[in-house]
Amino acid sequence: MLDAELIIFDCDGVLVDTEPLTNRVLAQCVTDAGWEVDTAYSIKHFKGRNLADILHDVETKLNRSLPDLLDEYRRRMYEAIENDGVPAIAGIHDLLDTLDAMNHNAPHRCVATNAPMKKATLTLTGAGLFDRFTHRDRAGQITMFSAYEIGKWKPDPGLFLHAAATMGHKPEHAIVIEDSVAGVHAAINAGMRVIGFADLTEPTALRDAGAHAVIESYAELLELRDAVFTAGAP
């Protein structure tokens, strides 16, 4: 894990604790459509995946077209976020403070998410994280990337490759922090090292997907910072 020049953070479940809320809403929408699932099922089977692929699964299960399902999910999801809010993942501000204290020795950082930029902006702002990722870094690059901008969703590696290239780094010099199996697969397929963040995902699932290390809190990652967050030579 040495010589990381770039840290790529997933958003949902890695920076902001949206997964319980969004999967609750998704489970409700799928149940209302006729396939009874709960939040736990949604987290296990839908988390981190492209919504279009999830829609395909639901339509296949119910053997009918559901043209309004995703719009209804988005409507309810944004309403829930605005009404309930979402907190930052515990320890993420401490981690970012540690990186900031490294000054010019710190790796670059960015966000790469399957979510629309609108959702990422809303949740990061509510959690007090938006300004920590929307500055222009010392290379002069914007530091937030959405799969909707390039039309490629995890587990496709395209989003991570796009983020690294835009930030000016080779894939082998990047570390990804991901909480979903799809995200781990995307990072591995991009030729990047990946740390699995096992909050709601089983640690064994992330290891089996290929994660090079698995943590259950940012306190664990801070203990490893000398090994993980050592910036490569400019």
Checking if the pLDDT of 11 tops 50, the result is yes
The span from the CA of 59 to the CA of 65, in Å, is 6
Same domain membership, residue 97 and residue 75: no
Do both 76 and 188 map to the same domain? Answer: no
* Residue at 120 is within a domain: yes
Residue 135 has pLDDT above 80, yes or no: no
Taking the C-alpha atoms of residue 167 and residue 163, their distance in angstroms, rounded to an integer, is 6
Radius of gyration of the chain (CA): 17
On the question of pLDDT at 197 being above 90, the answer is yes
More confident residue, 161 or 107: 161
Query: Which amino acid is present at 161?
Result: L
- The average pLDDT across 110-126 equals 93
Terminal C-alpha separation, the chain: 17
CATH number at residue 77: 1.10.150.240
pLDDT of residue 74: 94
Asked if 64 and 107 sit in the same domain, the reply is no
57-66: long-range pairs with CB below 8 Å, 24+: 58/30, 58/33, 61/35, 62/33, 62/34, 62/35, 66/33
For residues 121 and 181, membership in a common domain is answered with yes
pLDDT for 48 equals 81
Residues 70 and 91 in one domain: no
What confidence score (pLDDT) does residue 229 get? 58
Q: What share of the chain has pLDDT > 70, as a percent?
A: 91
Q: Report the pLDDT value the prediction gives residue 199, as an integer from 0 to 100.
A: 82
Better-predicted residue by pLDDT, 200 or 157: 157
- From the list 135, 165, 212, 181, the residue with the least C-alpha distance to 6 is 165
Q: Is 195 a member of any domain? A: yes
pTM comes to 0.84
Return d(Cα 112, Cα 183) in angstroms, integer.
Answer: 10
What is the torsional sign of CA 12, 18, 23, 29? negative
Whether the Cβ atoms of residue 191 and residue 212 lie closer than 8 Å to each other: no
| Number of structural domains found in the chain | 2
Q: Is the pLDDT of residue 106 over 70?
A: yes
Domain-terminating residue out of 84, 114, 133: 84
Instruction: Specify the higher pLDDT residue, 153 or 141.
Output: 153
145 located within any domain: yes
pLDDT at 202 over 50: yes
Q: What is the pLDDT of residues 31-87, one digit of tens each?
A: 999 999 999 999 999 988 889 999 999 999 999 999 999 999 999 999 999 898 899
**Residues 71 and 108 reside in one and the same domain:** no
Distances (CA, A) of 165 to 170, 172, 202, 208: 7, 11, 31, 27
57-61, Cβ contacts within 8 angstroms, sequence gap of 24 or more: 58/30, 58/33, 61/35
Supply the CATH number for residue 116's domain.
3.40.50.1000
pLDDT on residue 2: 46
Whole-angstrom distance, CA of residue 162 vs CA of residue 112: 9
Q: Are residues 116 and 103 in the same domain?
A: yes
For residue 148, give the nearest of 114, 190, 178, 183 by alpha carbon: 114
Give the end of a domain, one of 42, 58, 84: 84
Asked whether residue 212 is domain-assigned, the answer is yes
Q: Are residues 132 and 216 in the same domain?
A: yes
* Any domain includes 234: no
The answer for residues whose C-beta is within 8 angstroms of residue 51's C-beta and 6 or more apart is 70, 73
Q: Do residues 103 and 208 share a domain?
A: yes
Among candidate residues 84, 100, 117, the one where a domain is terminated: 84
128 in the same domain as 28: no
Domain residues for the domain of 37 are 19-84
Total Cβ atoms within 10 A of residue 183:
34
**Mean residue pLDDT across the chain:** 90
- Shared-domain flag, residues 23 and 131: no
> Distance (Å, rounded) from C-alpha 44 to C-alpha 205?
10
In a domain, 130, yes or no: yes
Domain identity same for 40 and 138: no
For residue 140, is pLDDT > 70? no
Per-residue pLDDT tens digits for 71-97: 999 999 999 998 988 999 999 999 999
Q: Is the pLDDT of residue 227 over 80?
A: no
Count CB-CB contacts under 10 A for residue 92.
Answer: 22
Residue 131 lies in a domain: yes
